[in-house]
Amino acid sequence: MDLGLLEAAVGADGFMPEDEGRALASAALAAPGGVILEVGSYLGKSTLYLAAAARARGGKVVTVDHHRGSEEHQAGWEYHDPGLVDSSVGLIDTLPGFRRTIAAAGAEDVVVAVVARAEEFAAIWGSPLAFLFLDGSHTDESAQRDLASWAPHLTVGGILAIHDVFPDPADGGQAPYRIYRRALESGEFTEIEGQGSLRLLRRERFGESTETV
């Protein structure tokens, strides 16, 4: 993989631990042929790990994020950063920081950034995914919606990656854990080796009610 992009990812702002980020990149590199897609990119740290894999594969990584921040980024919440507020509209705007991260790392040639709500973009997406990384809003409603709208696009043999999966509520929020359990209990996925809070699942089949692209 592109060692420069991996090093840039380590130094970028964000919440992805290095060991989990490198595991994410390795899993994306090993996925079958097709598109790599990330739901929830924040300032681009995890995007760079995926970009390192995409460049090695000779492909692209598509990211989708509305860039208004998740619930935990809003005023009064734990991860709020006043410096990310666009004073002209009074709302979080992570897009400028994301673009700086990708440009500074020299990854603009492999990153396709879409500014949209994930479920709205999923409704018009038409290509099979080889690798799907879910790391958007961590409320139950949003996490369940991300899984429901994007998992049907993942091809058989493709990899579903979910970040911040904590079985113990004392370690973190439970929404990612619940969608991880939902995917496993569907019978459509089997788990492969992950790293830390990063869980990796391989699609084995489509369920009877799953709509495919």
Residue in 193, 212, 213, 210 with CA at minimum distance from that of residue 201? 193
| Structural contact between residues 39 and 135, judged by C-beta atoms closer than 8 angstroms | yes
CA distances in angstroms from 48 to 16, 21, 138, 148, 196, listed in the order given: 11, 9, 21, 25, 19
DSSP states of 12-35 as a string? Answer: SSSS--HHHHHHHHHHHHHSPSSE
In the structure encoding, which two tokens stand for residue 92, read together? 């979080």
From 66, 67, 73, 138, the catalytic residue: 138
Q: Where are any strands of DSSP class E within 111-197?
A: 111-115, 129-134, 154-162, 189-195
Distance CA 38, CA 113 (A): 10
Q: Is 138 a catalytic residue?
A: yes
Distance CA 30, CA 23 (A): 11
Q: Which residues are marked as active site?
A: 138
